[in-house]
Amino acid sequence: MTGILLALRNVAISYGGIRAVKGIDLEVARGELVCLIGTNGAGKTTTLKGICGLLPLTTGTIEYDGADVTGRPAFELVRKGLALVPEGRGMFGALTIDENLTMGAYARRDRPVIAQDVERVFALFPRLKERRKQTAGTLSGGEQQMLAIARAMMSRPRMLLLDEPSMGLAPLMVQKVFETILDVAQEGVTILLVEQNAKLALDVADRGYVMESGEVTLAGKASSLLHDPKVRAAYLGEAA
């Protein structure tokens, strides 16, 4: 078995009659933190949805853990350890924090370990523990993002797909969320991070892909992308 955990081969996805993703190749090795950056509408979220089986592929294949998982429904992939934290966090607003976490662990059967994991994520997010009996809808945006990550962690994923975790958050919260992402990566979880905030993403990632109008235009080590003149001009702007 190779070191590659997730591989997209010539993946194209049409969305509402538009070719949103036009045949991209992308690889993530075990233990890597890879980011996918690009402007709004570049096809980043569509790519993630395609990986998770939420959107059908027009062409191409998706391999996960050495197996072809093209077109498998989302719930099966979670059971294989591939979890997505969706854009906009995807809270169950009327469910309590405890219940949201229970749902995160839905695919698992090892109850005693689940209880330990709840304590583990609460250690990571003490804020959530204080409010465990409250409904998720009462949390602030940042807290909801924390809960979304915590909930995804409850499935004990081998790979986490994060869609715009910084979106709509105050700068201080963004920092906290990214610290958490690094913590999760430290635990050995492979991460594919989709972000509009290119600087932030490239700072934490090992490697990066740049998407433009449905195509991957640049790929490489995060540190070299960070110093690539084209990237600097297009995405980092004044961050000189």
Distance between the two ends of the chain, CA-based, in angstroms?
Answer: 41
**80-119 mask for another protein (x: CB under 8 A)?**
---xx-x-x-xxxxxx---x--xxx-xx------------
Cβ 108 to another protein, closest distance in Å?
A: 8
| 160 touches another protein by CB under 8 A | no
Q: In angstroms, what CA-CA distances link 60 with 68, 78, 82?
A: 11, 21, 19
Q: What torsion, rounded to 10 degrees, do the Cα atoms 50, 220, 165, 189 define? A: 80
Name which position in 155, 166, 180, 190 contacts another protein (CB under 8 A): 155
Q: Cβ closer to another protein: 94 or 123? A: 94
As a whole number of angstroms, the distance between CA 206 and CA 233 comes to 21
Scanning 28-36, 68-76, 125-133, 180-188 for contacts with another protein by CB under 8 A, the matching segment is 68-76
| 173 strand-pairing partners | none
Cβ 51 to another protein, closest distance in Å?
A: 12
Q: Cβ closer to another protein: 12 or 103? A: 103
Q: Cβ closer to another protein: 167 or 236? A: 167
| 54 touches another protein by CB under 8 A | yes
| 145 touches another protein by CB under 8 A | no
CA nearest neighbour of 159 among 50, 42, 33, 72: 33
CA 218, 227, 188: angle at the middle one, nearest 5?
Answer: 70
Find the helix packing angle between 111-124 and 97-104, rounded to 10°: 120
Binding residues vs another protein (CB under 8 A): 52, 54, 73-75, 78-79, 83-84, 86, 88, 90-95, 99, 102-104, 106-107, 151, 155
